[in-house]
Amino acid sequence: MIGRGKHKVRVSQRLDRRAGALYLRWRDAAAANWRVRALALTLVDAKGKPLAGKARAAVLEDAMRAAELQYAVNSGHAPAPARREPSAAPPKLLTVADGIHAVQDAERGRYHAPTRYNKGVIAAATQAMAVWGPDTPLAHVRRDDFVRLWRARMAAIRADGGVGYAGAMTTIERTLRLLDELREMQAPDGSALLGEDQAVPPRKWKEKLRRDYAELYGGGDLPEVQRPRYQLGEYRALLAKASEVDPRLALAMAIGAELRPVQVLRVRRSQLTLPPLPDPLPPLGQDDAVDYGSVVVKGRGKKGGVTVYFTRGQRAAVEAALHPETGYLRALEREYQAALAEDRDPPDYVLVPAGRLAQRDPAAAGPAPARRRTRQRRRSSQQRRRATGSSACRARRGWRSGASHP
């Protein structure tokens, strides 16, 4: 015991607590109760045997020194030790649902715009959330969770009548793109939302996915990718009927039947080069030296573009669309040529505008209509197929006559 009176402090060993541990005990007059403080000291060794000799004396000396300091504090001869502030709560881990919400943020989210590609990435991440759980922290997503995801997607697609191989591959690829974007984004404290070593797929995951599918569903083989295309005779029949269904799609097929359709739908007037033609034109088969013009079909990313040098028929299709009296682009072309004549920047426009054509005049909907969407192109393609009675066939190039298997 150290001190006297109401401030005295006792060193004791509480047998009902951790064996051998020493405590300080004193009377708190303000609280009208006893106060107890544990010391990081014990009278037993690691094996539970009591200390003896110098080891025991050293522990008791440290305990008495702590008691003297506590007595000085109780009697007002020493300041009370500063209280330790409670440690801050650990930061909340980013969950799967939080990650999907973050990349769609209106101010800084990469996938905020409602484009077809962005919707596909969000759809894939939503499928991953259905397997992993919305409240699962992304930091806890393990490599085998990706295996669980692609197997679940294969089973779900096959249950809907699909193949499952390409769909599972696409789900993993798009989910990884979303995770990469989260690694680039920063939290309010400046740290990355997702660490470089978190939510990482298995090494060579594509090879493992292929092996999984071949062993589970393919009998050791991978499925043949279905790419239905039109045959040459069907192309000619479709081109013959296209202008009756929609002149915009007739022009798109004429200048880009062997190209990627969405790239063709983005072509603008400024990408056309239309040199003057000789009058009269030479007979067919003798016009190899004639420059019929060209169009630059721009690419994006890994899908490169191309410059198409017009044939006689392609130039005729362009001239028909720009005809000052009957062409569906006549109003837009009139403003374009007027600006060139006045030596000012012409108002550029897309060659395949969206919306309904009021008397086949797209200018009725505005001076610069948006490009035609893929869904509208597919609807017109279906109408042309019904008009010509064409069916799908397999080839390597050209516009698709049906969707690929998932």
Give the whole-angstrom CA distance, residue 344 versus residue 335.
11
C-alpha distance from residue 23 to each of 10, 36, 53, 63, 268 (Å): 8, 7, 21, 8, 85
pLDDT digits (tens, 9 = 90+) for 317-370: 999 999 999 899 999 999 999 999 999 999 999 998 887 765 545 444 444 445
Successive 10-residue mean pLDDT values, the chain, 406 residues: 74 65 76 75 75 84 83 73 61 89 92 93 96 93 95 94 92 96 86 88 94 87 73 80 84 86 90 91 87 91 87 91 91 93 92 71 46 58 62 47 41
> DSSP H helical segments within 44-164, as ranges?
54-74, 96-103, 116-132, 143-159
Output the six-digit token pair for 338: 């007027």
Task: Report DSSP letters for 222-280, one per residue.
Answer: PPPPP-EE--HHHHHHHHHHHHHH-HHHHHHHHHHTTS-HHHHHT-BGGGEE-PPPPSS
Please, is 191 exposed, middle or buried when counting C-beta atoms within 10 Å of its C-beta (0-12, 13-18, 19+)?
A: exposed
What's the pLDDT at 42?
78
pLDDT digits (tens, 9 = 90+) for 217-265: 877 788 876 666 777 788 788 888 888 888 888 898 888 878 888 888 8
Q: For residue 234, give the nearest of 386, 402, 389 by alpha carbon.
A: 389
Give the whole-angstrom CA distance, residue 123 versus residue 174.
9
Output the six-digit token pair for 386: 């019904």
What's the pLDDT at 179?
95
Give the whole-angstrom CA distance, residue 43 versus residue 58.
10
Amino acid at 335: E
Q: How far is CA 180 from the centre of its chain?
A: 8
Q: For residue 121, give the nearest of 193, 168, 172, 192 by alpha carbon.
A: 172
What's the pLDDT at 95?
93
Give the whole-angstrom CA distance, residue 165 versus residue 406.
7
What's the pLDDT at 54?
85
Are 361 and 331 in contact, with CB atoms under 8 Å apart? yes
Are 66 and 78 in contact, with CB atoms under 8 Å apart? no
